[in-house]
Structure 1
Amino acid sequence: MHYSSRILALAFPLLLAACSPDASKKDPVAEAQFQNEKRIGDENVTEKQERDAEFMVDGASDGLLEVELGKLAQQKATTPAVKNFGQHMVEQHGEANSALKALAEQKGLTLPAGLGQEQQDTYAKLAALTGTQFDKQYMATMVDDHKKDVDEFEDMSEDAYDGDIRGFAAKYAPVLKQHLDMAKQVNEQVEDLP
């Protein structure tokens, strides 16, 4: 009896913490990484699976950012090519995000429910810009982000521990490469704008 009341006493503050408004201030990306590491640690899973989980979380947070920035580009861009690129990102990354979410559920992995602090900062910087300054900065960001994504997806298409995650990375690496090529083309059109 004494033992179970101690457990309740320990659990109660945790329940309160889970319901407190401060819980909403947690970084969703850091929280997803924490949940996955905890589960992997509890199950004594290998480091390779930890890298798989990190890849999934990073892929999800980058995908969410691409969609949100794509929506922003449709509202703020002054150049039609930039608006079109933004629309393309919303559609394509929305589809990839759904596939990633389904795969994460299948693997019992936690993905971020929203933008992490780093992604929020990127979004806020771009949201503060107007006119051609927005177009130029958005496209430069898209080139940089997609370079990073292509590298990561190509690496994981060979190195992921889990075969399904390897397959996911292999399927989307060429799509991201296409996005990178498009981003470079549009970036060239806008980088010399006043």
Structure 2
Amino acid sequence: MKYLAPCLALALLATPAMAQSVGEKTGINSTLGIAPRTEDFVKQVAISDMFEIQSSQLAQERGDAADKSFAATMIKDHGKTTGELKSMVSEGDLKMALPTELDSTHQAKIDKLKSLKGGDFSARYQLDQVSGHKDAVSLFERYAKGGDNPKLKEWADKTLPTLRHHLEMAQGLASGKTVGKN
């Protein structure tokens, strides 16, 4: 009986037909530093970019001056990475379709942001930005080190400095420090 749970977990992790691997979905891969499958990486990047853009568009409407400045950078930079990812798919470097809408977790975060105003909005937006960029840095680091698509690995590695800078900016924003555009 004590071996049943680990065996079941391994069986689930090995199931390739899932939309997103259990290891990525549960955070086990991140905790263990395991590179995501290419399909998981692409899906998560696309959803993360959509979330960054949509939440930052809301911040430009509802946020304070610091939120709006940060949000402008997020919209520009994540629009760029979205374009680069779409280009790799359209050029045939990646044989998969990009998601066209947020997953339920990210949609719930957008819905929550839509329900907030003023300081409550800013606090949630800033928290989401720190959390999202920590996740993105981990995702890109793991893929850059161990991904199986050479062109995508190179892109992940090239994109990492910008994401790390975004994380620093988000942490500064959340701590009340002035956030620069670069």
TM-score range for the pair, normalised by the shorter chain length: 0.7 to 0.9
CA deviation map 1:83-137 (0-9, x unaligned)? 1111111111001011011113322211101212211111001110100110111
Task: Quote the residue 1:131 is aligned against.
Answer: 118
Task: Quote the residue 2:55 is aligned against.
Answer: 69
With normalisation by structure 1, the TM-score equals 0.71
With normalisation by structure 2, the TM-score equals 0.75
1:96 corresponds to which letter in structure 2?
Answer: T
**Pair 1:154-2:155 in alignment:** no
Task: Quote the residue 1:91 is aligned against.
Answer: 76
Task: Quote the residue 1:108 is aligned against.
Answer: 95
2:136 corresponds to which letter in structure 1?
Answer: D
Task: Quote the residue 2:4 is aligned against.
Answer: none
**What's the secondary structure of 1:189's corresponding residue?**
coil
Higher Cα Rg: structure 1 or 2? Answer: 1
Aligned residues: 146
Structure 1 stretches of 5 or more lacking a match? 1-32, 38-47
CA deviation map 1:130-177 (0-9, x unaligned)? 001101110011001100100110111111111011011101111100
Are the aligned partners of 1:49 and 1:162 in contact in 2 as well (CA < 8 Å)?
no
Query: Matched residues in 1 for 2:140 and 2:70: separation?
Result: 21
**What's the secondary structure of 1:166's corresponding residue?**
helix
Are the aligned partners of 1:56 and 1:104 in contact in 2 as well (CA < 8 Å)?
no
Task: Quote the residue 2:43 is aligned against.
Answer: 57
